[in-house]
Amino acid sequence: MFETGVRQLSMARSLIMGSRFNVRAVEALVGDALATLREFGAPGDDVQQLLDGPFADPEIRRNLQDRSLRRTVRRAAALTPYYRALVRQAGLDPNRVGVDTIARLPLTSKDDLRERGREFLADGSTPFMTTRTTGTSGAPVQVWMSQYEARLWPALAALAGVLRGEIGPTDVLQVNISSRATAAIHHDSAVCRLTGARLCLLGLIPPGESLKALRDNGATLLSTYPSYLAELIEVAERTGAAPTTLRRIDCGGEVLSPALAERAQAVLGAPVVDTFAMTEVLPVSARRCRAGHLHHDLNSGYVEVVALDADTPAPAGEPGRVVITPYYPLRECMPVLRYDTGDVVRALPDSEIDCELAGMPATTGILGRSSEIRAAAGHGLTPRIVIEALDTLSGPARAPRFVIQHQDTEAIVIVDAGALRGQAASALAELLHRSGARARVEVLAATADPSALRAVRADLRETTFTHIPAGSSLRAHSIP
């Protein structure tokens, strides 16, 4: 018990003072937590405090944010060529930066990271592993991490997962995400190693194969995208091949509609948890509370919501872009400051946050990408509204393919005929109107190029091949 206390103090000191984490101590805390649960059945409140931090008090929260921002900006300005120039051009004193002054620093865009990636690498850092975005919103972005980061991030996630009852030695985690998401795959592998859970890495293979693996391996946890989850449900309903051992489904990377979550629980027998994470801003993540709010982890980064067309704070209740600064010492190899994620939310006033995470600021769930929402500015239209309307209209099926356009003075939603599942376009327009959006709905012409519609992650399909007898032609093997 003495050793556990020492490790807790070491972790608390790193969180508060900003000193580098003792990764071995954090990994050992995972084992301590598992031993405590085996003996007492519940973690101690002192360990839980390490996860969420003392953020309920606004004054303490502000003090910690100021110190964390100062430490992070000071290091990035000293060690990275990109921010050395940017901080100097902004006339920002790294030793005085804080919540009140960070907005003087220009936003970092995906294009900045894509085109000038080498300038973001910190001097003296030792890159260990690279990961890339999936490219569904443009050319992929490459992010490097050090061995320290590659060990620390999963260790912190494993500790949180054990203490919250999200994963343990009796679990079997099946991962159906793109194999190109190397950071997430490495993360899941390390979390399972630390917690003693079993891991089944499959990628985005044909849904029938995934359903069979869920049953055969007795999977208790599933990690996937909403669009692929919809395909799993479709096949399970058609074949009656639903698993029986799942206890939770984690979904991220896309908009998850309530209708899809409800249908997944009815068909696959497990609740769906809507999560947020992004390669470029690792290890900052967010989780949904029972009231449906999105709460970002304040220990790992500073989160802003800025206006759609300006770098000023978006008023509460208005749509705005999520901007994230991961803190040092959690992020060291390739820091980013004020990274514009391109995801749009609405910030919630503190008076409206009445949930189990009420001490933490919150937003709505992701409404869509800023480029899509700008296309329908003034019409109350967001991709989330379209997705939820389509799932309500025709029932969650294969991920709805559509695109939002703006012509003259009206917004237009162009949908694939399959997304309507026999319903009239006018029925979708009526549902959008009831949601407070104004748009004309058109069905994509049969002769039109389907690539004009927004991409979904389920399209990152990975095929397998059967045994090829001598003299046979090469043919892909796919189970419907």
User: How do residues 152-188 score in pLDDT, each as one tens digit?
Assistant: 999 999 999 999 899 999 999 999 999 888 899 999 9
- At 38, the pLDDT band (50, 70, 90 cuts) reads confident
CA-based diameter of the chain, in Å? Answer: 74
pLDDT higher than threshold 70 for residue 438: yes
Cα(71)–Cα(128) distance, rounded to whole angstroms? 23
State the pLDDT at residue 217: 96
For the segment 266-271, the average pLDDT, to the nearest whole number, is 94
What is the rounded end-to-end Cα distance, in angstroms, of the chain? 53
Element (H, E) at 114: helix 110-115
For the segment 304-314, the average pLDDT, to the nearest whole number, is 92
Q: What is the DSSP letter of 450?
A: G
Cα(70)–Cα(63) distance, rounded to whole angstroms? 11
For the segment 274-288, the average pLDDT, to the nearest whole number, is 91
pLDDT higher than threshold 70 for residue 464: no
Structure tokens at 149: 């980061």
State the pLDDT at residue 419: 77
- Which residues touch 5 (CB under 8 Å, ≥6 apart)? none
State the pLDDT at residue 396: 62
Name the nearest CA neighbour of 264 among 288, 246, 252, 279: 246
For the segment 459-472, the average pLDDT, to the nearest whole number, is 60
State the pLDDT at residue 366: 93
Structure tokens at 8: 């807790």
Q: Is 77 helix (H, G, I), strand (E, B) or coil?
A: helix
Sign of the CA dihedral running 260, 273, 65, 69: negative
Place of tokens 């984690």: 250
pLDDT one-digit tens code per residue, 86-138: 999 999 999 999 999 999 999 999 999 999 999 999 999 999 998 887 666 66
Task: Of 37-46, 248-257, 354-363, give the lowest mean pLDDT range.
Answer: 37-46
Percentage of the residues of the chain whose pLDDT score is greater than 70: 87
Q: Is the peptide bond before 283 cis (omega within 30 degrees of 0)?
A: yes
- Which residues touch 150 (CB under 8 Å, ≥6 apart)? 128, 129, 186, 190
Q: Which residues pair with 441 in a beta bridge?
A: 413
Strand blocks (E) in 124-212: 127-132, 142-146, 172-176, 198-201
CA torsion, ordered 284, 290, 291, 297, to nearest 10 deg: -20
State the pLDDT at residue 5: 57
* Residue 313 and residue 306 in contact, taking contact as beta carbons nearer than 8 Å: yes
For the segment 449-471, the average pLDDT, to the nearest whole number, is 70
Element (H, E) at 172: strand 172-176
Q: What is the DSSP string of 4-62?
A: HHHHHHHHHHHHHH-PPP-HHHHHHHHHHHHHHHHHHSS--HHHHHHHH-STTSHHHHH
Neighbour-count burial of 334, counting CB atoms closer than 10 A to its CB (0-12 exposed, 13-18 middle, 19+ buried) = buried
- Judging by DSSP bridges, how do beta strands 368-369 and 402-407 pair with one another? unpaired
Q: Where is pLDDT greater, at 394 or 81?
A: 81
pLDDT higher than threshold 80 for residue 13: no
State the pLDDT at residue 92: 94
State the pLDDT at residue 474: 42
For the segment 431-458, the average pLDDT, to the nearest whole number, is 84
- Which residues touch 59 (CB under 8 Å, ≥6 apart)? none
pLDDT higher than threshold 70 for residue 390: yes
* Residue 456 and residue 399 in contact, taking contact as beta carbons nearer than 8 Å: yes
- At 7, the pLDDT band (50, 70, 90 cuts) reads low
Cα(272)–Cα(275) distance, rounded to whole angstroms? 9
Structure tokens at 347: 């910030």
- Which residues touch 173 (CB under 8 Å, ≥6 apart)? 167, 188, 192, 197, 198, 199, 200, 219, 220, 221, 222, 223
pLDDT higher than threshold 50 for residue 437: yes
For the segment 52-63, the average pLDDT, to the nearest whole number, is 73
For the segment 328-344, the average pLDDT, to the nearest whole number, is 96
Name the nearest CA neighbour of 57 among 302, 364, 362, 358: 358
Task: Of 266-270, 335-339, 354-358, 412-416, give the lowest mean pLDDT range.
Answer: 354-358
- At 49, the pLDDT band (50, 70, 90 cuts) reads low
State the pLDDT at residue 476: 44
Count Cα neighbours of 454 within 13 Å in the Cβ-side half-sphere.
26
For the segment 309-332, the average pLDDT, to the nearest whole number, is 93
Neighbour-count burial of 273, counting CB atoms closer than 10 A to its CB (0-12 exposed, 13-18 middle, 19+ buried) = middle
State the pLDDT at residue 478: 41
State the pLDDT at residue 407: 77
Cα(269)–Cα(315) distance, rounded to whole angstroms? 39
**What is the separation of C-alpha 295 from the centre of its chain, rounded to a whole number of angstroms?**
12
Place of tokens 């209740």: 317
pLDDT higher than threshold 90 for residue 81: yes
State the pLDDT at residue 397: 61
Cα(369)–Cα(384) distance, rounded to whole angstroms? 10
* Cβ-based neighbour number of residue 373 at 10 Å: 21
Q: Which amino acid is at 365?
A: G
Percentage of the residues of the chain whose pLDDT score is greater than 90: 52
Q: What are phi and psi of 322, to 5 degrees?
A: -80, 125
- At 420, the pLDDT band (50, 70, 90 cuts) reads confident
